[in-house]
Amino acid sequence: MRLFILGLGYSARHFVRQFGSSFSHIAGTVRDPAKRDDLAGIEVHAFSGNAPARETAELVRGADVLLISIPPGSAGDPALAAFADVLATGHRKIIYLSTIGVYGDHAGSWVDENTPPRAVFERTRLRLAAEQAWTNGGYGNVAILRLAGIYGPGRNALVTLREGTARRIIKPGQVFNRIHVDDIASAIMAAIQHGGGGTWNVCDDEPTPPQDVIAYAAQLMGLAPPPEETFETAEMSAMARSFYASSARVSNAKLKRELGVTLAYPTYRQALDALWRAGEGR
């Protein structure tokens, strides 16, 4: 199988490290290949949303699997705009990495893939529009993976505590799902191997108040947790504050049932335990 990745971000790179041996050829895009030295084994092409080089377009055309992790912009999905013509021919598996943010606020209630999205922010409306464009465009067999908050090596509460940037923002009733990058990689591979398309939530088993994760990480490190800050009065950027506007418990039952995914880290505690043993935050 030939794999092309539009947007070699954190999750996509981790997927290659975990499952790269399953593919005969792997290529992907970054904005500036000269600034990336962590992409060994991947044929790297520049792409910043403009018309792609002919070589890049031909690799996309010939890919058996297309993994898209580029976020949409105000003009829509840049990958789809740039490559729609070459995608019009052939048949391929398409994996689009979206977000559970499209569900919007449900006041902490449970939601699943049958729950109508409530995309109230521009970024989530654009995500939803991109999902629909890929699904309805006839470009291949499309799997939409709605990801929870991503964490893993180098990107977790242990690291932010050690760096002194962790905060405990308290908003009563607020819960989030999250997902370890290893489990994202497993979900991507399961979606590739699945016979059909569809939409699946990729999240953990235990939606949790964010301050609990910081407190648990501090306990592992033997540190006093950061002081509690009331959400209403905490100094936060508009973007950071907007993430607290939505509270929902997102179900991963369909992911397990239809794709057969067994999470390596079903809760943040198991994941942080493993990351701490691996030396994270030290």
pLDDT at 49 over 90: no
Read off the pLDDT of residues 234-267 as tens digits, 9 standing for 90 and up: 999 999 999 999 999 999 999 999 999 999 999 9
CA distance 203 to 187: 10
Q: Which helix (H) or strand (E) holds 125?
A: helix 122-136
Q: What is the CA radius of gyration of the chain?
A: 19
Tokens 């979606």 sit at which residue?
191
Please give the average per-residue pLDDT across 72-78, as a whole number. 92
Beta bridge partners of 99: 147
In this predicted structure, what is the pLDDT of residue 38? 76
In this predicted structure, what is the pLDDT of residue 203? 98
With cut-offs at 50, 70 and 90, classify the pLDDT of residue 110. very high
Sign of the Cα torsion 70, 71, 74, 80 reads positive
In this predicted structure, what is the pLDDT of residue 278? 98
CA distance 187 to 95: 10
Please give the average per-residue pLDDT across 141-169, as a whole number. 97
CA distance 93 to 242: 33
Read off the pLDDT of residues 177-193 as tens digits, 9 standing for 90 and up: 999 999 999 999 999 99
SS3 38: coil
Say what the alpha-carbon torsion angle 168, 170, 171, 177 is, to the nearest 10 degrees: 40
Q: Which helix (H) or strand (E) holds 166?
A: none
Closest CA to 200 of 212, 211, 210, 190: 190
pLDDT at 36 over 80: no
With cut-offs at 50, 70 and 90, classify the pLDDT of residue 32. confident
Whole-prediction pTM value?
0.96
Mean pLDDT of the chain: 95
In this predicted structure, what is the pLDDT of residue 61? 94
- Percent pLDDT > 90 in the chain is 89
In this predicted structure, what is the pLDDT of residue 206? 98
